[in-house]
Amino acid sequence: MFNQKWKIKITWLLLFILGLFTTISLYAIQKQPALAALTEEDWNILLEKQAITEIVDTIEKTWEAAYENHFNANLSDFGLNAEAIAKTLHLLTYQNEKKSAVVWVWPRKEQLQLLLITPNQLPIVRSVINAEQDTVLNTVKKLTQEITSPRKRQTNSYLKPAQQMYQWIVAPIESELEKQEIDTVLFCLGPGLRSLALAALHDGQNFLIEKYSVARIPAFNLISTDYNRIKNSRVLAMGASEFVDQEPLPAVPIELKQITEKLWQGEAFINQDFTVKNLQEQRQKQDFSIIHLATHADFNSGQPSNSYIQFWNHEKLELDDIRKMKWYQPEVELLVLSACKTAVGDIEAELGFAGLTVQSGVKSALASLWYVSDVGTLALIDEFYQHLQKIIIKAEALQQAQIAMLKGKVNVENGELHGSGRGVKLPPELANLGDENLSHPYYWAAFTIIGNPW
């Protein structure tokens, strides 16, 4: 009888504790509104409470949900809090000898919000006034327009919006970046900012990439933070120079040949051999850690099925099917799309572009925000692979390639592309275009590392 009574009491006690825990959990969830729903009063309360770690958690969960809704998939089953993110950055410093920071940037109606985490440091919040949401997003579009306008490629008309974006996004945290001796900045950007040409931001004297190597991430908890040396990896390079209903890419044969015969080790397949089936078969035969696709790729508005990578003839690999390629078994270290574009400022197109790594399952991706000229693409890609052999940090290899171009060290003279390596003879259709200066941001600022920058 005694034991039975105690069993009943213990059971009721456990039920009471479980109920109390559930009530507290529900209350906590209700008190943590979604990022978009936070009012000015909510923000002020959180900041007064110095509940910055709570803000980090809210941002990560909100943006993770946005990508999961867009791709209709569960993309992550765990989450690191602010302290764990800071510790992860600290650990990576010892692994790759680069000191990295993460900055979350999102527009609010009346101002721009920044949040910075550096290795083993507490998060820092900066509220940028006089940066209304509409003004900021219009400036992003203006920057892209000024850079990509064909009639402005001999001007620096892009400087005004480039400097304004720098003042809003980088300047408020720059003293802390310098204090912590940061080398690499991971930008986690909010709606309308995910197609921002980060490399083109300018402080009045220098471009952002002259100070830091940069990457854009969908959310810190949606990227793989493992670091593996990529130097001796094999590359599967595929592409097309001719298309049924799109512009030809005459530099592609040279691009693939340069990568697999001069700059790296791997296999190349072009035009008729550039099929989804052949890509899968080659992956089964050999372990390729780098997949390089020199072809049109569009990130469009609407469902992920509207965005695609173009293969030979009419075949397309739609974004919602890309996970079926199983590039995460074994994991592809780097996916390169050398001729893609995304719709600037379009929320759904930006989710597809910035979410490329989580949807495809690759660790890192190198892609472009807009179509760059054939010669400009060939120049950037050639420089990138040359630097990747020496530097082995993906974001830094891209940074050095971009710096070489902006400083005028890469150009076209007498039908040859000249840069860090030997001259590359161009095909007649490109050589006949004459000499070309590739220092304008149009040629190099579109390219960006998505996901793991290391």
Per-residue pLDDT tens over the stretch 51-96: 788 889 889 999 999 999 999 999 987 789 999 999 999 999 999 9
Residue 30 has pLDDT above 50, yes or no: no
Six-digit token pair at 279? 């890509």
Residue 45 has pLDDT above 80, yes or no: no
Looking at residue 9, its pLDDT comes to 47
Six-digit token pair at 109? 């109606």
Question: How do strand 290-299 and strand 184-189 relate by DSSP bridges?
Answer: unpaired
Residue 31 has pLDDT above 80, yes or no: no
Cα distance between residue 275 and residue 279, in whole Å: 6
Question: How do strand 411-413 and strand 316-318 relate by DSSP bridges?
Answer: unpaired
- Report the percentage of the chain scoring pLDDT > 90: 82
Cα distance between residue 271 and residue 240, in whole Å: 5
Cα distance between residue 121 and residue 100, in whole Å: 12
Nearest to 366 by CA among 387, 347, 345: 387
pTM exceeding 0.85: yes
Per-residue confidence band for 433, with pLDDT thresholds at 50, 70 and 90: confident
Instruction: Name residue 47's amino acid.
Output: L
Q: Domains of the chain: which residue ranges?
A: 82-222, 235-451
Looking at residue 93, its pLDDT comes to 95
Phi, psi of 176 (to 5 degrees): -75, -40
Most confident by average pLDDT, 37-41, 58-62, 144-148, 224-228: 144-148
Q: Which residues contact 436 (CB under 8 A, 6 or more apart)?
A: 375, 411, 412
Tell me the average pLDDT across 402-429.
94
Looking at residue 198, its pLDDT comes to 98
Could you tell me which residue, 31 or 415, shows the higher pLDDT? 415
Phi, psi of 308 (to 5 degrees): -160, 165
82-222 and 235-451 have identical folds = no
Residue 16 has pLDDT above 60, yes or no: no
The CATH code for residues 235-451 is 3.40.50
Fold of 82-222: Nucleotidyltransferase; domain 5 (3.30.420)
Looking at residue 187, its pLDDT comes to 98
Are 189 and 196 within 8 A, CB to CB? yes
Looking at residue 392, its pLDDT comes to 82
Per-residue confidence band for 213, with pLDDT thresholds at 50, 70 and 90: very high
Q: Quote the radius of gyration of the chain (alpha carbons, Å).
A: 24
Looking at residue 26, its pLDDT comes to 29
Cα distance between residue 263 and residue 443, in whole Å: 21
Residue 8 has pLDDT above 80, yes or no: no
Are 408 and 444 within 8 A, CB to CB? no
Six-digit token pair at 313? 């003839």
Looking at residue 14, its pLDDT comes to 44
Looking at residue 35, its pLDDT comes to 53
**CA neighbours closer than 13 Å in the CB half-sphere of residue 253:** 12
Residue 364 has pLDDT above 60, yes or no: yes
Nearest to 228 by CA among 376, 82, 363, 100: 363
Looking at residue 22, its pLDDT comes to 32
Q: What mean pLDDT is reported for the chain?
A: 90
Per-residue confidence band for 19, with pLDDT thresholds at 50, 70 and 90: very low
Cα distance between residue 140 and residue 416, in whole Å: 35
Six-digit token pair at 80? 């690191």
Could you tell me which residue, 293 or 2, shows the higher pLDDT? 293
Tell me the average pLDDT across 276-291.
96
Question: How do strand 316-318 and strand 447-451 relate by DSSP bridges?
Answer: unpaired
Tell me the average pLDDT across 312-323.
96
